[in-house]
Structure 1
Amino acid sequence: MNIQEQVADITKQAAQKLRQNGKLENVVWVAAGGSFGGFYPAQYFMDHESVKVTSESFTSNEFALNIPKYVGNNTLAIFCSMRGTKETCVAAKKAKAAGATVIALYVLESDLTKISDFNIKYESIAEDTSRTEHVNSSIGLMLAMNIVNETEGYPNYKEAMHGFEIVDAIYRRAVKVTKPLAQKWAQQNADRNPIYVMGSGPTYGAAYIFSICNIEEMLQIASPTINSCEFFHGPFEVLDKNTSVFQLISVGRLRAADERAVRFLKQYGGDKVYLLDGKEIGLNDLDDSISEYFNHILFAPILNNVYMRALSKVTSKDYNTRRYMWKVAY
């Protein structure tokens, strides 16, 4: 059974369990940090494709401290944590106590896998041996696609599942293309602080993870995330010829927003502005009906495994070191 079949099977089982007390009416996606950002493509897909099932995403501690009143017997609650982050486990317990059916995405077994009704093991995005369709963001997106297909039918389901069959090969080619580009970017931005990261729509989650997990957590460099659409409502006032900006250009309906930002960056920014286009990393190799939803699936590992590592090398900062995480009480 491949991962697409495994996810489809678990979705069907979860839907059947929900029907014992009612039906699948709403989904919540709950996680912290990079895992929270990894659910962005799933939420984006639900926002734009789901008619019958409502969907919201929450960072774990917000959910744990203030669980929505609608969470109950008709809720599918999907959690993600590599090692069983404390607040994610607390949030899962509260969802389960409220009557929700719980699915957990995990790497190492923990309290989270004990709490959940169904578990799906994923592979870390940071491991070069991990297959792209097996990382948490891919599995989250698969779950979203299967939820819609199960409840109302998703007309591009076949094309989407085929996309997961070929996305790893596309990613491997993109790594080869971007490595020399990343080296040049890192050399040009080694002394820049902050580094702004911009994206919109289907790339915003990848931009967010690149900022908070890769640049800030791993390299201890300030890195605000800016939505390309919101750039013109305040943030563009910080732009000058020395500002470091990393702009993601998506494939799909939000591309126009990214291109608008690019035009302004080219006119008023300097040589610290960097553009990474989805078309250049292989998103056009996917069927047009589903390529938009795969933006994050390709951007996120390239940013983590190519660009972050290149900046780490140039700045001589070991990306495995931390100041506070896992070291002090928080």
Structure 2
Amino acid sequence: MELRSIIEEINKEQQAVGGIKNVVWLAAGGSYGGFYPGDYFLNQEASEIRSRNITSNEFVKAPPAFVGKNTLAVICSMRGTPETIEAAKLAKKLGAATIALYVDESELTEICDYQIGYDSVAVDSSDFSKTNSAYGLKIAMLVMDVVEGYEHIELALENFKAVNNIYNQAVTKIRTKAIKWAIQNRESTSVHVMASGATFGAAYVFSICNIMEMLQIDSPTVNCCDFFHGPFEVIDEETSVFLLIGEGNNRSNDERADRFLKEFGGKKVFRLDAQDIGINKFDSKVSEHFNHLIFSPILNNVFMRELAYQIKKDYMTRTYMWKAQYN
């Protein structure tokens, strides 16, 4: 079923309670971070729709009171994470319409009302306009258009067609810089990742999934705006900082952080500018919302892999995941 048709059908079914009024994004780990673009889009662009991105087990233990029969729950798990399945069950129990985003079928796809298969961000042959983040963003844009209208919907949908080419060009362009960064950081015991606005989700996924989970290196994620309200106190000439400079309204906040780091940081400060990886090629009316779709796979598939090579780390190994009991 075509994506717009799914949204229109859900909105029609919920007309008795006023149509879609709320969207909740439910997932864990990288899938949770991957929903940042869709949630950010609705919070920035929509005037009537309430949106909230919630990690699965937090939703299970403390679901927001607004979740009910006028809610769309978009739920993502690559292979069927148990707590995400529980979140889907609860969303349905509370009356929400449910859409599952998945790679492998699981109990999640059995539970949810609609199912959308996506391409993994970590697979080189993927269509990067069809990742979980891309589908989340597209769902957000279509929900807004169906419910209250979105003046740039056709332009935005057209720009999705450019995602794959921009990503592939960025991989080639940025690899040399990624190798230099990895060599410079092969002895680092901590890597601070900084971003703001529409890029923050990509920074978060890079920290918790790529650097901490896959490489087992400590990695705090810092919002460029809050950097000046505490975190900048740890900066010295040896601090490893990976700064994302995004496209859009918050670019000036990233640039402010960059000015400070140029003055007080050292040789281990690295800047990855959206313009260096082609995000400025998207139309300026919508480019802000495409930051994550290029940043996140570049960070995973180029920077993480290059650092793994330099530290001689098999990034598929884990200490606790899939081994220790934590339920």
TM-score by length of 1: 0.97
- Displacement of 1:16: 2.1
Letter in 2 for 1:169: N
- Aligned residue number for residue 21 of structure 2: 25
- Pair 1:251-2:247 in alignment: yes
- Aligned residue number for residue 97 of structure 2: 101
For residues 129 and 291 of structure 1, the distance between their equivalents in structure 2, rounded to whole angstroms, comes to 24
Match of 1:34 among 30, 37, 41: 30
- Aligned residue number for residue 286 of structure 1: 282
- Aligned residue number for residue 207 of structure 2: 211
SS state of the match for residue 133, structure 1?
A: coil
Q: How does 1:1-330 map to 2 (within 5 A)?
A: 6-19=2-15, 21-330=17-326
The alignment covers a number of residue pairs equal to 326
Between 1:299-308 and 1:159-168, the stretch displaced more is 159-168
Letter in 1 for 2:288: E
Contact 1:22–1:73, Cα closer than 8 Å, also in 2: no
- Displacement of 1:69: 1.5
For residues 64 and 122 of structure 2, the distance between their equivalents in structure 1, rounded to whole angstroms, comes to 33
SS state of the match for residue 60, structure 2?
A: helix
- Displacement of 1:9: 2.1
For residues 3 and 278 of structure 2, the distance between their equivalents in structure 1, rounded to whole angstroms, comes to 25
SS state of the match for residue 139, structure 1?
A: helix
For structure 1, the residue ranges without an aligned partner over 5 or more in a row are none
For residues 281 and 62 of structure 2, the distance between their equivalents in structure 1, rounded to whole angstroms, comes to 42
Contact 1:74–1:100, Cα closer than 8 Å, also in 2: yes
Contact 1:7–1:139, Cα closer than 8 Å, also in 2: no
TM-score by length of 2: 0.98
Contact 1:199–1:226, Cα closer than 8 Å, also in 2: yes
- Displacement of 1:19: 2.3
What do the CA deviations read for 1:41-79 (whole angstroms, capped 9, x no partner)? 001100111112111110000000011121111111111
Contact 1:95–1:102, Cα closer than 8 Å, also in 2: yes
- Displacement of 1:20: 5.0
Compute the RMSD of aligned alpha carbons: 0.9
Contact 2:196–2:224, Cα closer than 8 Å, also in 1: yes
For residues 104 and 276 of structure 1, the distance between their equivalents in structure 2, rounded to whole angstroms, comes to 32
Letter in 2 for 1:97: K
Letter in 2 for 1:179: R
- Displacement of 1:21: 4.9
- Displacement of 1:287: 0.5
- Displacement of 1:10: 1.8
Letter in 2 for 1:115: I
For residues 164 and 254 of structure 2, the distance between their equivalents in structure 1, rounded to whole angstroms, comes to 25
